[in-house]
């Protein structure tokens, strides 16, 4: 599926790197040909009138656990970085090659190579061969590599290959089988819990190793005040660290789990209200680099269990855009910053020519009505499972038209 005819989107508000401007954007041969107030349709172009809606880059979702094309289309996601926690794990070049081709042409899937064989944290996988096969990064998956020597070798190897390392940031020896963050809520509910400091301990070690190795290290989810402070200090020292967060951790605190609803059983678990407020501050002041969906749909067999036994995860692709635009309405960030977090920054981390409305980048475009109201209704979700903690919540912001490589999908 290739773009066969140039396309001009006119009458829209363009989400450029410098801010929102009125104008037009022209797409040709799958790339952005021109953009701005001087751009206009030419003879022979297909013309679409955006009618004042926001014209933005397609979302680059960094760190999903499943590929749900209908859900991604609904949410405006045109590229997704798939975590290696698959069955079997993405620890062989042939598996990486298969995944890298699996979503085309209407969705590009960027596989993240497993850091260690079987994701067991002991022996490094064939990372260079997996890079050649299409891996855009390397990841520790859902788990933390406890062996500091293995983690250092991973970072050194990744630095040599110029691959970003996507790490989980919880000390596994402290978290164990915990289902909640230690504190008043976990105590009242009688849930197995782990201290929030498990995140800070993992971050402190891995930041030190990243500083030693010079590697690019991205923490997929940072969720605590202490964690954000460590990232802030590391960036100030020039360490090549970045961090992400999902909407659940800046929208919800552990209070959301008081009714034992397993749709709020996540990894990392929901934190205290103080940590949630710290997350909002970190998003606002630039400490957080990426907002991702953490899309991890779980069926009834994984969620209709006692809270402590339920599988962690949420179906997040369809609500990612709306929840992030909520930060704009709450004046935590502006619209330009929202799309840096959703598209530009994750594209840079993965090294893909997308994520912004700039000439010669991939024509992955979403036309969005940022004020369109709708209710999250899990019974009508497009994902393979409906485990959203935002069910029945009113939101605003919806994709009306989506283009991948200049072709409507």
User: Does residue 242 surpass a pLDDT of 90?
Assistant: yes
User: Does residue 286 surpass a pLDDT of 80?
Assistant: yes
Output the pLDDT for position 161.
98
Segment 26-54 shows an average pLDDT of 93
CA-CA distance, 315 to 296, in Å (whole number)? 5
Other CB atoms within a 10 A radius of the CB of residue 173 amount to 12
User: Does residue 353 surpass a pLDDT of 80?
Assistant: yes
Other CB atoms within a 10 A radius of the CB of residue 112 amount to 30
User: In which band, very low, low, confident or very high, does the pLDDT at 405 lie, cut at 50, 70 and 90?
Assistant: very high
Closest CA relative to residue 276, chosen from 327, 202, 349: 327
- In Å, how far from its chain's centre is CA 260? 26
Segment 48-56 shows an average pLDDT of 97
Segment 296-319 shows an average pLDDT of 96
Output the pLDDT for position 39.
83
Segment 30-56 shows an average pLDDT of 93
User: In which band, very low, low, confident or very high, does the pLDDT at 28 lie, cut at 50, 70 and 90?
Assistant: very high
Side by side, which strands form the sheet with 77-82? 59-64, 77-82, 108-114, 137-139, 165-167, 217-219, 241-245, 290-291
Output the pLDDT for position 275.
98
Quickly tell me which residue has 């041969």 as its tokens.
29
Segment 351-363 shows an average pLDDT of 97
Alpha-carbon distances of 339 from 19, 58, 128, 333, rounded to whole Å:
10, 9, 31, 10
Closest CA relative to residue 197, chosen from 181, 216, 214, 176: 181
Output the pLDDT for position 37.
87
Closest CA relative to residue 91, chosen from 117, 65, 70: 117
Peptide bond into 88 cis (omega under 30): yes
Cβ neighbours of residue 358 under 8 Å, at least 6 residues apart?
16, 17, 32, 35
Segment 228-251 shows an average pLDDT of 98
Beta strand 7-16 pairing with 54-57? parallel
Closest CA relative to residue 81, chosen from 151, 141, 171, 169: 141
What is the 3-state secondary structure of the chain?
CCCCCCEEEEEEEEEECCEEEEEEEEEECCEEEEEECCCCCCCCCEEEECCCCEEEECEEEEEECCCCHHHHHHHCEEEEEECCCCCCCCCCHHHHHHHHHHCCCCCEEEEEEECEHHHCCCCECCHHHHHHCCCCEEECCCCCCCCHHHHHHHHHHHHHHCCCEEECCCCHHHHCCCCEECCHHHHHHCCCEECCHHHHHHHHHHHHHHHHHCCCEEECCCCCHHHHHHHHHHHHCCCCEEEEECHHHHHCCHHHHCCCCHHHCCCCCCCCHHHHHHHHHHHHCCCCCEECCCECCCCHHHHCCCHHHCCCCECCCCCHHHHHHHHHHCCCCCHHHHHHHHHHHHHHHHCCCCCCCCCCCECCEEEEEEEEEEECCHHHCCCCCCCCCCCCCEEEEEEEEEEECCEEC
Is residue 108 classed exposed, middle or buried when 0-12, 13-18 and 19+ CB atoms within 10 A define those classes? buried
Output the pLDDT for position 2.
87
Segment 343-350 shows an average pLDDT of 98
Mean pLDDT, the chain, whole residue set: 96
Output the pLDDT for position 134.
97
Bridge partners, residue 314, by sequence? 295
User: In which band, very low, low, confident or very high, does the pLDDT at 403 lie, cut at 50, 70 and 90?
Assistant: very high
User: Does residue 1 surpass a pLDDT of 80?
Assistant: no
Other CB atoms within a 10 A radius of the CB of residue 197 amount to 15
Domains assigned to the chain: 59-356 (3.20.20.140)
User: Does residue 42 surpass a pLDDT of 80?
Assistant: yes
Q: Which tens digits make up the pLDDT trace of 161-177?
A: 999 999 999 999 999 99
């Amino acid at each position: 599926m290739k773009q066969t005819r140039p396309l001009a989107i006119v009458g829209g508000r363009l989400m450029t790197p410098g801010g929102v401007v009125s104008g037009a954007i022209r797409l040709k041969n799958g790339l952005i040909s021109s953009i701005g107030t001087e751009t206009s349709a030419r003879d022979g172009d297909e013309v679409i009138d955006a009618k004042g809606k926001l014209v933005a880059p397609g979302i680059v979702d960094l760190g999903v656990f499943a590929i749900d094309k209908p859900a991604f289309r609904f949410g405006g996601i045109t590229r997704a970085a798939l975590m290696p926690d698959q069955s079997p794990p993405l620890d062989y070049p042939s598996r990486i090659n298969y995944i890298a081709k699996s979503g085309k042409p209407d969705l590009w899937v960027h596989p993240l190579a497993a850091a260690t064989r079987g994701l067991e944290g002991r022996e490094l996988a064939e990372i260079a061969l997996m890079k050649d096969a299409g891996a855009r990064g390397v990841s520790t998956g859902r788990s933390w590599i406890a062996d500091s020597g293995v983690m250092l070798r991973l970072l050194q190897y990744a630095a040599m290959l110029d691959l970003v390392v996507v790490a989980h940031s919880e000390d596994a020896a402290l978290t164990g089988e915990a289902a909640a963050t230690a504190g008043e809520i976990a105590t009242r509910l009688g849930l197995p819990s782990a201290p929030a400091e498990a995140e800070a301990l993992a971050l402190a070690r891995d930041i030190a190793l990243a500083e030693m190795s010079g590697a690019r290290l991205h923490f997929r989810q940072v969720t605590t005040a202490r964690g954000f402070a460590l990232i802030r200090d590391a960036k100030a020292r020039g360490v090549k660290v970045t961090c992400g967060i999902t909407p659940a951790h800046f929208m919800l605190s552990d209070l959301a789990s008081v009714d034992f609803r397993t749709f709020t059983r996540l990894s990392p678990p929901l934190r205290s209200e103080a940590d949630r407020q710290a997350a909002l501050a970190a998003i606002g002041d630039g400490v957080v680099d990426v907002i991702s969906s953490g899309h991890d749909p779980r069926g009834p067999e994984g969620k209709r269990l006692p809270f402590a036994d339920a599988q962690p995860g949420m179906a997040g692709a369809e609500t990612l855009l709306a929840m992030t635009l909520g930060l704009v309405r709450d004046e935590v960030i502006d619209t330009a910053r929202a799309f840096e977090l959703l598209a530009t920054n994750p594209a840079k981390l993965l090294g893909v020519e997308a994520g912004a409305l700039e000439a010669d980048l991939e024509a992955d475009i979403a036309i969005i009505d940022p004020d369109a109201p709708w209710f999250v209704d899990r019974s009508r979700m497009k994902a393979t499972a409906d485990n959203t903690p935002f069910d029945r919540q009113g939101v605003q912001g919806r994709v009306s038209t989506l283009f991948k490589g200049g072709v409507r999908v």
